[in-house]
Structure 1
Amino acid sequence: MIERRLDLDAVQAFVYIAELDSFTRAADALSTTQSAVSLKLKRLEERLGCRLIERSPRHVQLSPKGEAFLFHARELLAAHDRACAAFAEARQRIVIGISDHVAGPELPTLIARMNAQDPRLLIEVRIGSSGDLLQSYDRRELDAAILRLHVGRSDGQVIAQEKFGWYAAPTWKRRAGEPLPLATLAEPCGVRVLAGQLLDDAGVPWTEVFVGGGVAAVSAAVTAGLGVSALAKRMLPLGAKDVGRELGLPELPRLPVLLHSRLKDGKPKEAIAALAAAFRSVVRD
């Protein structure tokens, strides 16, 4: 029998550690320090009388007791949120812009993670190019924006760095003597501009053969064998291969994912922090 009630903040910290597989990312999601998260977990383990997390220098792993407690921890937090929602006032609206080059297949899971931070929030997500979304943010049409590039800007917070490559369908072959056929996003796309500049600097002739209104459309063009595209690995169509080295193309740099936010406190800020931490967990260096 547990003699004292569980601290919900400590339970939340444990759930974030388990879901994000990192004390650091859990601290980011909770807008606190890693040492504070470690202390919360220690106190929770003391109250439960068992170890929940097996720590190692490289990764975090749930103990058997931790695996068993995770379900109950989520249920406890959900029950707390339902109880609060029953007496809540009108939902608070939060409008977020996410660059199409950043919003990948994990987006539903990431939105769910943000909603779990506070189910009472009314979340609006807009997908678009980084340039367009940054203008919307500057016009105060967005509360926050998660973007790919920050040309000429220094006010964004870098939350991750992601490797790009030159990808094509597995059966695609470049025709000798012809310019490199590129599938790109429509303007204004920073990745499109960067790819063109790198090819020009390397003296590689190229031509656009497909312009898509979103990464999904560009991926479809790559799958159809129309040509090559500069994409992050997690955005790849099934079976695509990196042809950069084979074709002697210039190496693409790691590109930043940046957070712009004017949310200062409260649940909306916590939700954005949770979303940023979740992006760190899926965008690998």
Structure 2
Amino acid sequence: MDFDPTLLRAFVAVHDSGGFTRAAERLHLTQSAISHQIRRLEEQAGRPLLRRTTRRLALTEDGEEFLSLAQRILDASDALTRRFHLSPVSGVIRFGVSQTFLGARLPTLLGQFARSHPCVRLEVNVASSLDFRAMVAADELDMAVVLVEPDQEDGLLLRSSRFVWSAAESYAPPTGDSLPLAFAPAPCLRRHIGLTALERAGRSWHFTFTSSSNEGLRAATLAGLGVAVMTTSELVPGLKIVDDELGLPPLPKAEYVLVRRPGERSAAAEEFVRLLQDHA
């Protein structure tokens, strides 16, 4: 029996996006269409591939093996398409992005675009401390993903989150009144938001760790050196939200927004934006 690649793509999309709704958005289908495709695939496979509960969606043991094989089939199909049906899109895209956006998924996204559009040259600047908005305004970048407070930046909303106070699972509240902090040096949005909230609440604080590297700040927080401001999407195993536990002031919501330089936008840029929206 030959499995329909359309059904395989639906299955992979459900797994990668974590649910039927996001998979439907990613594939530009209705949720019922995705559900129907998964049912057809499980009927062809002769066994359940997904385990559904009221709170989460997980692969069955057969589903894990099926996913690996399905991905290999789709990768081979995509390779054939790239080899014999090259995209006519060409040009240069200068793209800036925070280290925290998409995390480990970012290289996969960039690689996918590069393979699908071999005539497009990507120039990617990944950093946490650069002012990407100023670089876009100065025509040093074509587009950039920036982290902002809601309604603080005009642009295309890619993903919403919220800022929280985070610390290690084993973190114990400090014995004194001063709160130990782990922050990036100024200018830094998380630093600005955190210190502003503490000053308004009349809470004393001191720095125990400063680094411009997000990996360094995460490592210091995991080691219990201090409390940091993160978005909920940046929390990793070993970290917890301590807003209520430490009686810390509430923090605002957060948005990842795509800002773009004004003027005519190339077909390459539009293709790249669509990919960002699908994976955000």
| TM-score (normalizing by structure 2) | 0.71
**Shift in Å at residue 156 of structure 1?**
3.1
SS in 2 for 1:81: helix
Residue matched to 1:206: 205
5+ residue gaps, structure 2:
none
In the alignment, is the contact (CA less than 8 A) between 2:184 and 2:210 conserved in 1? Answer: yes
RMSD: 4.1
**Shift in Å at residue 54 of structure 1?**
5.3
In the alignment, is the contact (CA less than 8 A) between 2:168 and 2:223 conserved in 1? Answer: no
> Does 1:272 find its partner at 2:271?
no
**Shift in Å at residue 190 of structure 1?**
1.4
5+ residue gaps, structure 1:
277-285
Counterpart amino acid of residue 215 in structure 2? A
SS in 2 for 1:153: coil
Q: Alignment identity in percent? A: 30
CA distance in 2 between counterparts of 1:152 and 1:44 reads: 45
Equivalent position to 1:108, from 104, 111, 118: 104
> Does 1:18 find its partner at 2:15?
yes
Distance 1:74 1:190, change over 3 A: same
> Does 1:27 find its partner at 2:13?
no
CA distance in 1 between counterparts of 2:108 and 2:165 reads: 29
Equivalent position to 1:83, from 69, 80, 85: 80
CA distance in 2 between counterparts of 1:51 and 1:171 reads: 42
Distance 1:176 1:52, change over 3 A: closer
Distance 1:12 1:136, change over 3 A: farther
**More relative contact order, 1 or 2 (CA 8 Å, 6+ apart):** 1
CA distance in 1 between counterparts of 2:215 and 2:148 reads: 19
CA distance in 1 between counterparts of 2:236 and 2:50 reads: 36
CA distance in 2 between counterparts of 1:169 and 1:64 reads: 30
CA distance in 2 between counterparts of 1:119 and 1:275 reads: 16
- What pairs with 1:202-281 in structure 2 (closer than 5 Å)? 202-222=201-221, 227-232=226-231, 235=234, 244-245=243-244, 247-260=246-259, 267-276=271-280
CA distance in 2 between counterparts of 1:14 and 1:238 reads: 27
Count of matched residue positions in the alignment of Structure 1 and Structure 2: 269
CA distance in 2 between counterparts of 1:33 and 1:23 reads: 9
Counterpart amino acid of residue 153 in structure 1? E
Residue matched to 2:156: 156
SS in 2 for 1:25: helix
**Shift in Å at residue 17 of structure 1?**
0.8
Distance 1:59 1:143, change over 3 A: farther
Counterpart amino acid of residue 176 in structure 1? G
**Shift in Å at residue 174 of structure 1?**
3.6
**Shift in Å at residue 16 of structure 1?**
0.9
**Shift in Å at residue 191 of structure 1?**
1.3
SS in 2 for 1:256: strand
Greater CA drift, 129-138 or 157-166:
129-138
**Shift in Å at residue 129 of structure 1?**
3.8
Counterpart amino acid of residue 271 in structure 1? L
> Does 1:183 find its partner at 2:182?
yes
CA distance in 2 between counterparts of 1:84 and 1:213 reads: 41
In the alignment, is the contact (CA less than 8 A) between 2:147 and 2:257 conserved in 1? Answer: yes
